[in-house]
Structure 1
Amino acid sequence: MTRAVVVEDLRRVFGDTRAVDGATWAAETGQITCVLGPNGAGKTTTIECLEGLQRPDSGSCRVLGVDPWQAGADHRARVGVMLQDGGLPQSVSAARLLGHLQRLYRSHRIDELVDRLDITPFARTPVRRLSGGQRQRVALAAALLGDPEVAFLDEPTAGLDPHARLAVWDLIRERRDEGVALVVTTHGFDEAERLADRIVILDRGTVVADDTPAAIAGGGRLEDAYFALTGGTRG
């Protein structure tokens, strides 16, 4: 395996707040890397640096060997992105959006993704009228439509019912088996345990764990290990 995503001593500061404070980790091809951490841990900032949406103050990010901040169109076409808020145009229908992306990518995946994610019942509905779970499915389809070599998926099953969640997990695993490097941010311990080949836990902008789920759990529950590492308390 090769390292498709590399974060080295990454730092991002906003005023007096160190959102990311020396984080170092990597994600390999053909693996699912789940990134966990409490709110404010630096997950979103780190991922946005990797997506080229923010510029690090120091340290470095590399995706497929390229600095995302300076990446051109050819590089960006190799990377799929599912943003936290969806990032979808609101006035067009799901079918029109995915059809446009299909033409851009010359993709043969659209029928498969529409079927697997059960998009047909709301395909002609404007995005702004979709439920949260429906928008998630469209955003995931958009992120995977171009057959990316690396995919950043932010909370891909948020708002989905159990049946849809299982379908999304199966789809993500299949892309992993095809050799895609998938970086999934999640708050779900069950999701991380079921999906992850490797887990990165961030807390206060630093990496407090980077290993397999079994190694981090240490023979116990991942949830218990997580709260011990982050010093958090259960609600």
Structure 2
Amino acid sequence: MEIEHRLFVLSIAILATTASVYGIKFLGKGNYLLGVEWLVVALSGASILVFVLGDVDAGYRVAYFCDAFARGCGGPVIMILGLMAVTHGYRPVPWFDVYLFARAAAGTAALVEADAVAALRPVFYLVMWSVLSLYLIGFVRRLAAVRAYRHAFGVAVALVAAQTIAGMYDFYPLPGDEERLAFYAWAGMVWSFVCAELYYAYCALERAGGDGARDHAAFDELEQLF
């Protein structure tokens, strides 16, 4: 196995492990939105390894679906709502968590199967991730407001790195990276950092308390619309 393949496998293995660890940590905190979302990322990484190392075609199909979920219909929206637990006091009832994931999974299935929108998928993924990035700018400001400067800086770095990955993913291949191994190795490390840093930044805001509780009633009303 060439060095590029080894680095790619190592990066994806780190991603699968990191996302699993912090997904379980989020579940332990009772944040099922972020916990399950992180585990979806872990499943994507594990499925890639199954495909690459075991030559199992089903691994590729699972990874492709999880990737579409994380970048489009599910990930950005679910991540924002999950992080709002410490920015806006948002605590969804359990049935609403299930509803969100079911709707996101159905939307993802429709998106990946609809050939008519194939040309629009890359733009959709980029727009959705950009919405998440805009939210994270506010997240950084809240961290700075409670003097969690180290995590504010960490989330800012994660934001820029992940947005760069999102912008390059379907539009700007690295020169000489025909198999895209270098890109995916880089993407795996960026995502690992995102998974870890958002957890610790979440904990920092959780410890600081925050003024999000006053927004909770508004979100209760939002759930009634569904």
Taking structure 1 as the reference length, the TM-score comes to 0.28
Q: Which has the higher helix share?
A: 2
Taking structure 2 as the reference length, the TM-score comes to 0.29
